[in-house]
Structure 1
């Protein structure tokens, strides 16, 4: 028996689908097929692999996803794969499945960032619930990362003086205080603040402060990005 055929990649090495994908790694052919059919029955895209190296050697589509991973695999184990993904800075939420789970193994998996650990036999709905939660977790992570990347790009468009003004605004200083701090006229500070608001796309001072906090400018005079 073989796995269900996988759709070919789109030109340029990218998958045509942008729907959430469930990656499955299990050396048991019948389990891979059962999991693939289960996820597809609820409309989820699936990519199944028979080993950890097979997944690591594949070009995974950069879309919202999660990984259903057998913890006991020949060669590179599920825990080893988890460590390799972490080293590669790949943050796919992992749901471990095993027929031989034990407490130390569970603790290690969860401490390393796994979102769930299910012992076979598990109910289909139990696994589906875990997958839905993992996909939502990955979706939110990606949204946060996109927001931060966009803010960093906007911050980079500010001149050094505008960045200095933004840092002092985030520290809670008034225009007069900022002017004294930077040796500028107060009207000049107001002009700089206007430029900062416009370039950052801030609708209000509160909006600008929230952006500053996301960037790591938290009530101090330095920025950490």
Structure 2
């Protein structure tokens, strides 16, 4: 297991399965939290905690696939392993298209589940780190004024035309004003060069 503390969240409406699965996973050294419904899980979930989700496909109320869709929309860094007693090929295909680590049919071997959990926990650590980097990038770009962001957008979109004269001609401002803005941009973003700026901006989605 990773040295980073991770949590295995188990969501299954069958109490016997929740209890047995939680016990087995704790014996393997995992920290486990179990819930009997998708809603109960969502009410308790804190995305700052790193972990993965072992999710029953056939939940009453909000189904496993609906919970997966909710997690994807929210952008939670939470890899999912589906478990089911009655899922078929269409369901498994939909789950995997949604990014599930695996779709296991009951009964399954505990060793197989443990292997998938190890994979999911590693993914969770990587996803959480990536989300942290993204928040850092967002917070730095939020410091820019509208004009500074306009200059950044131009430089990123036209990496071969980043001199102050070229930028000033396009934006109808003087090269000296561009120089001032460029210096402030690098200072606010804590960067040393335009090359670093372009690399950093690539971490932002289009339209951000």
Superposition TM-score tier, normalisation by shorter sequence? 0.7 to 0.9
Q: How far is the alpha carbon of 1:202 from its aligned partner? A: 1.7
Kept in 1, the 8 Å contact 2:8–2:33? The answer is yes
Q: How far is the alpha carbon of 1:196 from its aligned partner? A: 0.9
Q: How far is the alpha carbon of 1:100 from its aligned partner? A: 2.8
Q: Secondary structure at the match of 1:216?
A: coil
Q: How far is the alpha carbon of 1:80 from its aligned partner? A: 4.0
Structure 1, 109-118 or 182-191: larger mean CA deviation:
182-191
Q: Which residue of 2 aligns with 1:111?
A: 97
Kept in 1, the 8 Å contact 2:140–2:188? The answer is yes
2:193 paired with 1:204: yes
Q: Which residue of 2 aligns with 1:174?
A: 162
What TM-score comes out, normalization by structure 2 length? Answer: 0.81
Q: Which residue of 1 aligns with 2:118?
A: 132
CA spacing shift, 1:174–1:77, aligned 2, 3 Å: closer
Q: How far is the alpha carbon of 1:88 from its aligned partner? A: 6.0
Q: Secondary structure at the match of 2:44?
A: coil
Q: Secondary structure at the match of 1:215?
A: coil
Q: Calculate the aligned-residue CA RMSD, in Å.
A: 2.6
CA spacing shift, 1:88–1:30, aligned 2, 3 Å: same
Distance, in Å, in 2 between the alignment partners of 1:25 and 1:166 is 45
Q: How far is the alpha carbon of 1:143 from its aligned partner? A: 2.5
* From 147, 162, 182, the counterpart of 1:193: 182
What TM-score comes out, normalization by structure 1 length? Answer: 0.76
Distance, in Å, in 2 between the alignment partners of 1:88 and 1:186 is 43
Could you list the runs of 5+ residues in structure 1 that have no partner in the other structure? 1-17, 218-223
Distance, in Å, in 1 between the alignment partners of 2:150 and 2:62 is 50
CA spacing shift, 1:136–1:163, aligned 2, 3 Å: same
Q: Which residue of 2 aligns with 1:102?
A: 88
2:32 paired with 1:43: no
CA spacing shift, 1:207–1:53, aligned 2, 3 Å: same
Which structure carries more relative contact order (alpha carbon 8 Å, separation 6+)? 2
